[in-house]
Amino acid sequence: MPELPEVETIRRALAPRVEGRLLERLEILDPRFCAPAAPAEVEAAVCGLRVTRLARRGKYLVWELTGDTRPAEANPAEPLFLVLHLRMTGNLLLAAPGDPFAPPHLRVRFDLDSGDRVLFTDPRRFGTGVLLRGADARDAYFAARLGVEPLEPDFTPEALRALAAGRRAPVKAFLLSQERIAGVGNIYADEALFRARIHPLRPVGSLRRPQLAALRDAVVESLEAGIDARGATIDDFRHPDGARGSFQYRFLVHRRAGEPCPECAREIVKLRVAQRGTYVCERCQPRPRLRRAPARGGATGA
């Protein structure tokens, strides 16, 4: 599943080709993409608008569209936002003018006035597109779903401490919850916890101040390393230009069960935490001690 670095990689590759361009036509081939809105309704709303910005929030890609070319009465008063989530297997590919490229599992096509086509493919069809009218609607949409943006300046050690305070959830589950920190998924949670030397089962509220500071830095470093490698190619993820990311060759622990830890050479093990396969070096990331259940009715022996 694409996480923040994969979505950011797509955004960076596409932005120079789409920003400033007219969206001449949007074709939604799979009504499930925009349900419950009707494809024709979404297509008509955005057709002929200018792409002023391709943004990202968490794992969402945001097409910002404004009117300046259609008849004045047909232009929207406020910018429209087409908010894409790739989910499990969604991907955006770019086809240059004249390129007959027709990938399988094509769900949505964006035709730009440059002749470029942006193709949304999605074998498993969980990807979604939501049309929001105006910045307030966009902000409300994200406020209901997403927490702090980890590569923005407001993701400070203090902010992480405030989010973690009093919570008993395992730190891995905490990192995966998008409403606390946006964009971190299974890969980057494992990598960040290893870098911070924190066991994924540690209750997040039990982490001490230096550990939370280390975790904050580790989340940022892991995401940035992923972006530097242009994302991880896992399952079906590809760049818009068809190239593959390389971060999977740089995983420290993720998907490396049975291999030696890069720090101490002990064997990396796979656990199940928060319903997800989780990779850990249990020497570098010591397992939390189990708190013994309170004894009932007196002595329990040593």
| Binding flag, residue 7, Zn ion (CB under 5 A) | no
Which of the residues 3, 8, 64, 191 is marked catalytic?
A: 3
> CA 200 to CA 275: how far, in whole Å?
12
Written as six digits, the tokens of 133 are 């009218």
CB of 166: closest distance to Zn ion in angstroms? 30
Given 145, 250, 276, 283, which residue is catalytic? 276
Residue of 2, 79, 150, 240 with catalytic role: 2
Q: Residues 27, 123, 283, 288: which binds Zn ion (CB under 5 A)?
A: 283
The answer to whether 112 contacts Zn ion (rule: CB under 5 A) is no
Q: Which residue's CB is nearer to Zn ion, number 31 or number 262? A: 262
282 counts as binding Zn ion under rule CB under 5 A = no
Question: Length of the chain, please?
Answer: 302
b (16+ CB within 10 A) / e for 166-189: ebebbbbbbbbbbebbbbbbbbbb
Residue 16 among the catalytic residues: no
In the residue annotation, 2 being an active-site residue is answered as yes
Exactly one of 17, 56, 59, 256 is catalytic; name it: 59
Residue 179, token pair as written in the block? 């409403």
Mark whether 172 is an active-site residue: no
Residue 293 in the binding site for Zn ion (CB under 5 A): no
- Segment lying near Zn ion (by CB under 5 A), choices 104-112, 126-134, 276-284, 289-297: 276-284
Pairing mode, if any, of strands 276-280 and 128-133? unpaired
Check: CB of residue 89 under 8 Å from CB of residue 124: yes
Contacts of 220 (CB under 8 A, 6+ apart): 150, 151, 155
Query: Residue 13: CB partners within 8 Å, gap ≥ 6?
Result: 94, 239, 240, 241
Q: What is the DSSP string of 62-86?
A: EEEEE-SSS-GGGS-SS-EEEEEE-
CB 267 to Zn ion: min, Å: 9
Q: Is 283 a catalytic residue?
A: no
Residues 236-275: x where in contact with Zn ion by CB under 5 A, - otherwise, as a string: -------------------------x-xx-x---------
Residue type, 258: G
Number of residues that bind Zn ion (CB under 5 A): 7
**Residues belonging to the active site:** 2-3, 59, 276
Footprint on this chain of Zn ion (rule: CB under 5 A):
261, 263-264, 266, 281, 283-284
